[in-house]
Amino acid sequence: MTANPTPTANPTLNPTPTAEPTPVDPPTAPGVRLRQADPARVRLLPGPFAERAGHAAGVYGGLSPADVLKGFRRNAGQPAPGNDLGGWASRTTEATFGQWVGGLARLAHTLGDTTLAARAVELADGWAATLPADGDARMATYGWEKAACGLVDVAEYAGHQDALRALSRITEAAARTFDRTRSPATRTDRDGRLPYGTLEWYTLAENPYRAFTLTGDTSFRDFAELWHYDAYWDAFATRPEPGQPWDVPVWLHAYSHVNTFCSAAEAYVATGDRRMLDIARNGLEWTAETQSYATGGYGPGEWSVPDDGSLGRALEWRTDSAEIPCDTWAVFKLTRRLLPATGQAAHAELAERLLFNGIGASLPIRPDGRSYYYADYRLGGQSTKLRHWDAWPCCSGTYLQAVAAVPDLIFWPSDDGIAVAQFLPAEIRWSHAGQEVTLRQHTLFPETDTTELRVESDSPVTLTLRVRIPSWSEGFGLRVNGEPVAGWDAAYGWALVTREWQPGDRLQVTLGATLRAEAVDRFHPERAALLHGPVVLAQEGVFSSPFALPGAAADPTLLAAALTRVDPDDGDGPFAPRLRYQPTDRGAEEQPVGPFRALAGVKERWPHRVYHDLNAPRFL
Ligand SMILES: [Zn+2]
């Protein structure tokens, strides 16, 4: 994607106020101290993401604990009733077990679902009971890292301290037994597994750092320090000079080489080391600037790519354009750590792309473990949304985690008020200056171009309400109870209103989403996806002609003349933003130019096109 989240150089940040903006004093970094909201105090209001959360609770909460634990119990010589789950979980559920446990704990926390929380605890305890006396989980680095995440999550979100005792045992054993070669990944060993199968060892630090932050137990920190990925992280310690390319290692496993930045982010949270923050921040910006498609998904063929046109070229043949659930999960975690650390609204943009076009456009998990994995953005032909060929892959774990983490991303309390970073229907209750306040966001975005924030409190409350000004916005505007207001912190990308809010006061926001074409990379200026604001539009591919419009990426007025917004039809559901554009040129009688709808509205197996060569329609 070409959206540039670099706050110091944000040429696309061009809001058009409805009234003269009030200048804000230049802030000292960070301009605003945002805090992570307790997700238990955030509630998703009815909408696609609330629906997904409920659905995921049913599927993962509906798994039989005996089935999930069967392989571990069999290996431990214990009675092992139930059935193996198949696919990646044929022998044990090691590849995803920790993600399921952690995801269930998170989901239970956000839904306030004690039954679901009890299930997460039951699974964690059942698994811990299969550990041998020496604490060696007999897991490779890949499964161990996920188990550690699950145990920290069960402690943090379900309040189950026994999980930390189990984590302490397996950490002590891992410190004793894990091979410490720590091979930097290369093109021929892209996840650093050689010579002893330690794949993705460079993601191991994240959760032990979280455990250290949670407990202060230095043995977790000492273990985390073993897995710093200096050979890679050092390359991200500074951004390139403006106009210069990123000089960083590429042709490596994509998702895990973004996920490793979460280890740097947690190192920053645990130790305050600013260098770790710089690495995490630059890692997110590099991902957004050079690795991501318009959807926010990255890693064609699961490769990180050089900034030389490889991203655009991959659209010519690869059907595995991006590993959506895993990609989404890594970016959500990075965003969660970066927004409080930098205060930069732009750091929420890649997460927004993945909300609407990544996890939000994926197929829901099926109870038999068939899971959405790769998105297919291939040019010209008939891409379809399919689930992975094998049951219970990595993305079945990250799907649950990403869906459960959506409430983390929306509201960000600060000392002086609260910030709204994502435009999703949701509400938060939080304590501001000793007073309980509810902020409710009503929005049908992107079907409508507005969001409304309603302040509810027992008595008037003085606070600053910040709203992210998206880089895609043309015509952003604010009204309080219908009256235009303006004020923003341009350096950090927030619109803001400070006032005494009466109970029921409303801040109405015009978001300014418009139609545009976004080139895949600078080497392919005519190879583009069409977007409405952050929402990627997919072209109908059933007996239809492709779309072409030379120059549209450079000149959005061409697009405005070529496509007309029309009412959605019944096909635009169930997880769909109901958004639809009709080409004015209908094309051939038997193969008309296909209409466009939000990618999230494309049904399973339904032919569609995400990218287009605007100057070279691919009829054949
Ligand atoms: Zn995956």
pLDDT digits (tens, 9 = 90+) for 105-138: 999 999 999 999 999 999 999 999 999 999 999 9
State the Cα–Cα distance between residues 339 and 188, nearest whole angstrom.
Answer: 35
Distances (CA, A) of 407 to 53, 60, 246, 384: 10, 18, 33, 29
SS3 177: helix
Whole-number Å distance, alpha carbon 395 to ligand 1 midpoint, is 4
Distances (CA, A) of 73 to 82, 138, 345, 520: 11, 12, 47, 48
Whole-number Å distance, alpha carbon 286 to ligand 1 midpoint, is 20
> How large is the average pLDDT for residues 484-497?
92
pLDDT tier at 380 (50, 70, 90 boundaries)? Answer: confident
Distances (CA, A) of 82 to 98, 127, 245, 381: 19, 15, 54, 44
Whole-number Å distance, alpha carbon 323 to ligand 1 midpoint, is 6
Whole-number Å distance, alpha carbon 334 to ligand 1 midpoint, is 17
Whole-number Å distance, alpha carbon 386 to ligand 1 midpoint, is 14
Whole-number Å distance, alpha carbon 300 to ligand 1 midpoint, is 13
Whole-number Å distance, alpha carbon 226 to ligand 1 midpoint, is 25
Whole-number Å distance, alpha carbon 302 to ligand 1 midpoint, is 9
pLDDT tier at 429 (50, 70, 90 boundaries)? Answer: very high
State the Cα–Cα distance between residues 302 and 298, nearest whole angstrom.
Answer: 8
The yes-or-no verdict on residue 309 having pLDDT over 70 is yes
Min mean pLDDT across 262-266, 345-349, 541-545 is at: 541-545
Q: What is the pLDDT of residue 19?
A: 39
Whole-number Å distance, alpha carbon 56 to ligand 1 midpoint, is 17
Whole-number Å distance, alpha carbon 338 to ligand 1 midpoint, is 23
Whole-number Å distance, alpha carbon 278 to ligand 1 midpoint, is 26
Give 125's contacts (C-beta < 8 A, 6+ positions apart): 162
> How large is the average pLDDT for residues 525-531?
97
Whole-number Å distance, alpha carbon 181 to ligand 1 midpoint, is 25
Residue 426 near residue 44, CB atoms below 8 Å: yes
Whole-number Å distance, alpha carbon 545 to ligand 1 midpoint, is 33
Whole-number Å distance, alpha carbon 448 to ligand 1 midpoint, is 33
The yes-or-no verdict on residue 11 having pLDDT over 80 is no
> How large is the average pLDDT for residues 82-111?
97
> How large is the average pLDDT for residues 504-521?
97
Q: If residue 437 lies in a helix (H) or strand (E), which one and from where to where?
A: strand 435-443
Whole-number Å distance, alpha carbon 405 to ligand 1 midpoint, is 16
Q: What is the pLDDT of residue 27?
A: 37
**Adjacent-strand bridge partners of 612:** 528
The yes-or-no verdict on residue 537 having pLDDT over 80 is yes
Residue 456 near residue 482, CB atoms below 8 Å: no
Residue among 406, 462, 471, 470 at smallest CA distance from 437? 462
Whole-number Å distance, alpha carbon 133 to ligand 1 midpoint, is 32
Q: What is the pLDDT of residue 572?
A: 53
Residue 419 near residue 494, CB atoms below 8 Å: yes
Whole-number Å distance, alpha carbon 153 to ligand 1 midpoint, is 19
**What pLDDT digit, counting tens, does each position of 365-377 carry?**
999 999 999 999 9
Whole-number Å distance, alpha carbon 618 to ligand 1 midpoint, is 31
Whole-number Å distance, alpha carbon 456 to ligand 1 midpoint, is 40
The yes-or-no verdict on residue 542 having pLDDT over 60 is yes
SS3 347: helix
CB atoms within 10 A of CB 310: 18
Q: What is the pLDDT of residue 558?
A: 95
The yes-or-no verdict on residue 464 having pLDDT over 50 is yes
Running DSSP on this structure, what letter comes out for residue 34? B
CA dihedral 4, 6, 7, 13 (to 10 degrees): -10
247 CB-contact burial (10 Å; exposed 0-12 / middle 13-18 / buried 19+):
exposed
> How large is the average pLDDT for residues 52-71?
98
Whole-number Å distance, alpha carbon 60 to ligand 1 midpoint, is 17
Whole-number Å distance, alpha carbon 303 to ligand 1 midpoint, is 13
CB atoms within 10 A of CB 330: 27
Give the mean pLDDT of the chain.
Answer: 93
Min mean pLDDT across 395-399, 486-490, 616-620 is at: 616-620
Residue among 149, 152, 162, 172 at smallest CA distance from 98? 149
482 CB-contact burial (10 Å; exposed 0-12 / middle 13-18 / buried 19+):
exposed
Query: What are the strands, taking DSSP E only, across 351-445?
Result: 374-375, 411-414, 417-420, 426-432, 435-443
Whole-number Å distance, alpha carbon 266 to ligand 1 midpoint, is 21
Running DSSP on this structure, what letter comes out for residue 449? S
Whole-number Å distance, alpha carbon 394 to ligand 1 midpoint, is 4
Residues in the chain: 620
**Adjacent-strand bridge partners of 303:** 253
The yes-or-no verdict on residue 343 having pLDDT over 60 is yes
Q: Cα–Cα–Cα angle for 597, 599, 601, nearest 5°?
A: 70
Whole-number Å distance, alpha carbon 231 to ligand 1 midpoint, is 24
Share of the chain above pLDDT 70, in %: 93
**What pLDDT digit, counting tens, does each position of 388-397 carry?**
999 999 999 9
The yes-or-no verdict on residue 293 having pLDDT over 60 is yes
pLDDT tier at 578 (50, 70, 90 boundaries)? Answer: confident
The yes-or-no verdict on residue 354 having pLDDT over 60 is yes
Whole-number Å distance, alpha carbon 402 to ligand 1 midpoint, is 11
**What pLDDT digit, counting tens, does each position of 203-245 carry?**
999 999 999 999 999 999 999 999 999 999 999 999 999 999 9
pLDDT tier at 591 (50, 70, 90 boundaries)? Answer: confident
SS3 148: helix
Q: What is the pLDDT of residue 12?
A: 34
Look up tokens 């959500």; give the residue.
332
The verdict on whether omega for the bond into residue 5 sits within 30 degrees of 0, i.e. cis, is: no
DSSP 494-541: EEEEEEEEPTT-EEEEE----EEEEESSTT-TTEEEEEETTEEEEEE-
Whole-number Å distance, alpha carbon 255 to ligand 1 midpoint, is 8
> How large is the average pLDDT for residues 571-599?
80
Residue 426 CA from chain centroid, whole number: 17
Q: What is the pLDDT of residue 589?
A: 85
Give 423's contacts (C-beta < 8 A, 6+ positions apart): 441, 443, 445, 451, 509, 511
Q: What is the pLDDT of residue 570?
A: 63
> How large is the average pLDDT for residues 565-573?
71
Give 194's contacts (C-beta < 8 A, 6+ positions apart): 181, 183
Whole-number Å distance, alpha carbon 100 to ligand 1 midpoint, is 13
Look up tokens 């069409």; give the residue.
530
State the Cα–Cα distance between residues 288 and 276, nearest whole angstrom.
Answer: 19
SS3 222: helix
Whole-number Å distance, alpha carbon 546 to ligand 1 midpoint, is 30
Q: What is the pLDDT of residue 16?
A: 38
